[in-house]
């Protein structure tokens, strides 16, 4: 955990690394991505992100993971968790585009029944179910999709379906003793968001304390004016204003003129609002010429000086019996831990009364063996190398996955879909392919009855990041050895690594060969299975992590190279579709020549001539150091793969 934190913070603190990292993460978060760039479907991308950025900043992908994370935070000393569901829309004023993080576009634009709103409601209610008393729900309302954001842009209320969902969410959160923090988002949408938040406060903040909070961004020049209007509404209408104060998080997408000119200006604005609220005197009006309304305050910030001064002021006013407001503090999960723990150590003279400190965390989905299933069930039974199977069972968890597979294989009589009954499926099978999401492997393997059902059978794992030893230890409490394999109670476990080209039956699947060795028949059968989706290679355990990158990451590298060449072709006048056909065929032809035995150096020399165009282009590549950068990119991918398994190597590129 400490090493991960150091690495992530090192990247985040350097614009040279942070900018492309954020751009890549933003692209991966978009819906309807191809398999290659789909973070939920590509196991390599999923595993890398899960082990790095996701674990650093997020609570989990499943309810069990989230509950475990929240429990650990409480045990450490946090008052609770501010939990948010990972769907959001960010408007970039520079390009006039909405970037939807996990939100699909609305195809028909109709309001009668919006699936985006329904999905957002379902995901948010699942989030509420994870909360305990004292926890808080952070709402990113733009996650409900374009019908909602189009209303927010004009300052109008969202569709009634959204208002009904918000009411249901507020009622359930209130029943669980949780508070609701409506996140501030892009200024393109903020007027409508604040209007909805204020209306919810009018309804739910009537008992002398806040259930619903709006978020106010101190870096915006307009925040004092808008906050003053909301204070006036609370004072006049008799509800408690929920004020969550942040510095701001949309500088990269909001219009620059809306934001304070300098960081000191933003710091001063934040401190002025925070300390004014704690003194119950704001903007030279509230608390002086007119009454100060009922207000609850949450100070979310990573600036140690600001939050330290705020806590000191609050503590001193409480000790002196002076009027103040309830206050809590929050920092993002994976960030500013020094600030969080520093606050938690602050107590009064009797060692009591420390501030309430929260961690704000996100949860949500970041997967399937469809390519393998397709090639297995479509295998002609009369081929000389036909597989010795007469029936196949595909195990799924959700009705959605079940229906998708039934539709995909509707003409196949040899495939049965089994939902939520892995043990029965394993009992009926001789060979089991373990293709669950890596995060779910432990839960799958520890299901009651599964270990016994696997006894003596061949278990083939395609799960990234799970070593053969880890799989065996999860199943049996120890790794398999020559002494304990022969009693027949254990499965024969083999680790494999197919790559994305399995989708077109061109995968390179690495098959681990380790001790104790698989029976020859099992190893041969494993190779025949994966020969259906491409080629296979036997690999020693010590290079399996490297193989994850060498075979698994390089298709993405080639895709980047092709994309660059296609763009350059368009720039010199070739239509994109023609350029794509030329580049892709050139790559396929090159691969065929190299696989036929032509040496890479010979191929390069045969394609160049003195003073020709090819050698001119090659010189540009050499002068730019492309060869070295490609090598480093591969080594970095291997490094990350090894970090997933905590295996160090002297030639890794990331240093501790």
* Strand partners for 243: 214, 297
DSSP 282: B
Nearest to 70 by CA among 1, 129, 119: 129
pLDDT tens sequence across 561-605: 999 999 999 999 999 989 999 999 999 889 888 888 889 888 888
Calpha distance 412→380 (Å, rounded): 12
CB 434 within 8 A of CB 43: no
Q: Helix, strand or coil for residue 506?
A: coil
The whole-number average pLDDT for the span 43-59 is 62
Cα 389 to chain center, whole Å?
38
- Does 72-103+114-378 carry CATH code 3.30.460.20? no
Count the Cβ atoms, other than its own, within 10 Å of residue 20: 11
Which residues make Cβ contacts (< 8 Å) with residue 194, sequence separation at least 6? 214, 226, 230
CA distances from 221 to 39, 148, 233, 268, 298 (A): 37, 26, 20, 12, 20
Calpha distance 39→562 (Å, rounded): 21
Lowest mean pLDDT among 35-39, 183-187, 446-450: 35-39
**In the chain, what is the greatest distance between 2 CA atoms, to the nearest angstrom?**
93
The whole-number average pLDDT for the span 476-487 is 82
CATH (residue range 421-539): 3.40.50.720
Calpha distance 497→509 (Å, rounded): 5
Instruction: With a cut of 50, say whether residue 98 has pLDDT above it.
Output: no
* pLDDT band per the 50, 70, 90 thresholds, residue 655: very low
The whole-number average pLDDT for the span 350-379 is 60
pLDDT at 95: 42
CA angle, corner 166, sides to 164 and 172, nearest 5?
105
* pLDDT band per the 50, 70, 90 thresholds, residue 94: very low
* More confident position, 144 or 323: 323
Spans of all domains in the chain: 72-103+114-378, 421-539, 550-645
CA distances from 171 to 63, 569, 619 (A): 21, 57, 66
pLDDT at 500: 81
Calpha distance 294→131 (Å, rounded): 26
Per the prediction, the chain carries an average pLDDT of: 81
Nearest to 392 by CA among 404, 378, 380, 382: 378
pLDDT tens sequence across 433-473: 998 877 788 889 999 999 999 998 999 998 877 889 999 99
CATH (residue range 550-645): 1.10.3730.10
């Amino acid at each position: 955990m400490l090493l991960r934190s150091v690495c992530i913070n090192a990247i985040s603190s350097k614009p040279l690394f942070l900018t492309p990292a954020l751009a890549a993460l933003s692209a991966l978060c978009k819906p309807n991505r191809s398999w290659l760039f789909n973070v939920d479907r590509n196991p390599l991308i999923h595993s890398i992100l899960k082990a790095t950025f996701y674990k650093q900043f997020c609570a989990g992908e499943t309810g069990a993971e989230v509950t475990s994370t929240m429990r650990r935070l409480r045990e450490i000393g946090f008052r609770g968790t501010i939990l948010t569901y990972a769907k959001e829309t960010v408007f970039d004023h520079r390009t006039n585009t909405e970037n939807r993080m996990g939100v699909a576009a609305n195809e028909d634009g109709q309001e009668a029944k919006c699936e985006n709103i329904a999905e957002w409601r379902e995901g948010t209610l699942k989030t509420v179910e994870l909360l305990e008393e004292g926890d808080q729900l952070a709402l990113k309302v733009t996650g409900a999709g374009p019908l909602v954001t189009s209303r927010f842009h004009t300052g109008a209320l969202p569709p009634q379906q959204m208002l009904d969902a918000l009411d249901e969410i507020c009622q359930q959160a209130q029943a669980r003793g949780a508070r609701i923090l409506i996140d501030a988002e892009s200024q393109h949408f903020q007027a409508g968001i604040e209007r909805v938040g204020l209306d919810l406060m009018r309804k739910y903040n009537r008992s002398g304390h806040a259930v619903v909070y709006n978020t106010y961004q101190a870096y915006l020049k307009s925040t004092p004016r808008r906050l003053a209007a909301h204070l006036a509404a609370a004072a006049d209408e008799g509800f408690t204003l929920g004020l969550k104060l942040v510095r701001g998080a949309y500088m990269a997408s909001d219009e620059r003129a809306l934001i304070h000119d300098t960081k000191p200006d933003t710091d001063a604005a934040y401190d002025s609002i925070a300390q004014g609220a704690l003194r119950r005197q704001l903007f030279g009006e509230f608390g002086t010429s007119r009454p100060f309304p009922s207000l609850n305050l949450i100070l979310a910030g990573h600036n140690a000086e600001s939050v330290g001064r705020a806590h000191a002021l609050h503590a001193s006013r409480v000790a002196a019996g002076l009027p103040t407001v309830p206050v809590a503090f929050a920092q993002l999960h994976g960030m500013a831990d020094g600030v969080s723990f520093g606050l938690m150590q602050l107590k009064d003279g009797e060692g009591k009364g420390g501030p309430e400190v929260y961690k704000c965390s996100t949860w949500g989905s970041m997967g399937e063996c469809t390519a393998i299933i397709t090639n297995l069930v479509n295998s002609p039974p009369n081929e000389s190398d036909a597989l010795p199977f007469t029936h196949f069972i595909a195990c799924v968890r959700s009705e959605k996955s079940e229906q998708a597979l039934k539709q995909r294989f509707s003409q196949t009589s040899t495939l049965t879909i089994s939902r939520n009954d892995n043990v029965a499926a394993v009992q009926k099978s001789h060979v089991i392919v373990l293709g669950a999401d890596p995060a779910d492997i432990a839960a799958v393997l520890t299901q009651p009855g599964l270990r016994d059902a696997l006894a003596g059978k061949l278990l083939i794992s395609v799960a990234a990041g799970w070593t053969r030893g880890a799989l065996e230890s999860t199943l049996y409490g120890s790794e398999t050895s020559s002494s304990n394999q022969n009693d027949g109670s254990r499965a024969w476990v083999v680790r494999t690594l197919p790559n994305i080209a399995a989708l077109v039956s061109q995968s390179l699947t690495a098959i681990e060969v380790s001790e104790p060795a698989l029976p020859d028949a099992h190893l041969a059968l494993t190779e025949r299975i994966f020969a259906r989706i491409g080629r296979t290679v036997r690999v020693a355990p010590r290079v399996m992590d490297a193989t994850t990158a060498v075979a698994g990451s390089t298709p993405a590298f080639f895709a980047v190279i092709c994309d660059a060449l296609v763009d350059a072709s368009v720039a010199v006048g070739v239509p994109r579709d023609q350029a794509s056909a030329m580049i892709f065929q050139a790559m396929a032809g090159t691969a065929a020549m190299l696989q036929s035995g032509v040496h890479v150096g010979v191929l390069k020399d045969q394609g160049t001539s003195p003073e020709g165009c090819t050698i001119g282009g090659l010189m540009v590549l050499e002068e730019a150091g492309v060869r070295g950068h490609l090598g480093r990119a591969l080594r970095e991918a291997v490094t990350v793969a090894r970090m997933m398994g905590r295996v160090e190597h002297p030639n890794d590129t990331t240093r501790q």
